[in-house]
Amino acid sequence: FQKIGLPAGAGIVNFVVLTAALSSCNSGMYSTGRMLRDLALNGQGPQIFTRLTKNGLPLFGTSVSAALMMVGVWINYEWPSKAFDYVVSFATISGMWAWIMILFSQLRYRAKANRGELPKSTFRAPGAPYTSIFALCFIGMVIVLMGFDEDARVSLYAAPIWAVLLTIGYFVIKNRNPQAFARKD
């Protein structure tokens, strides 16, 4: 910016980036608090998350969300040169997991619809089911390639641990409140 005659340009860009990051954190904390409340209202989470302040804010859920964000601050403090890579790796594997589940669900739905167990959709995905299978293979290839990248590999170590914790949590909550997981046809 100095070379093009805008010495304040770097400060302006930093201000915009920091404002965007703070806005993202704020919306993330608030939406997470609301999601935790919704899960609790449906019997799929601790009842403490149903509490609202007199102004209707899910303070406890938002506070838990903010406290968990502090883990990111700790990661940045402990490994400043690797923090961004770690966070991006975890976000990537989480996004891949979501897409894997979406694609498997689509394939399972389509198979049941073809057998007459479910109503057929009026929309047929172009190239289905081959495009879903191709996408699953592509995601699998990306996961394998992540294993070759030292910084991305950390998410592959943590993903099975996280999956086990989520599975245990699912069964604990399901056993405590089976009607919350009953099929609603």
Q: For the chain, which residues make up each domain, given as ranges?
A: 1-78, 80-185
pLDDT score for 60: 94
- Contact of 61 with 36, CB cutoff 8 Å: yes
pLDDT score for 163: 86
Task: Give the span between the Cα atoms of 67 and 72, in whole angstroms.
Answer: 10
Cβ partners under 8 Å of residue 154, min gap 6: 86, 89, 90
List pLDDT tens digits, range 65-120.
999 888 888 888 988 888 887 778 778 888 898 999 999 999 999 999 999 999 98
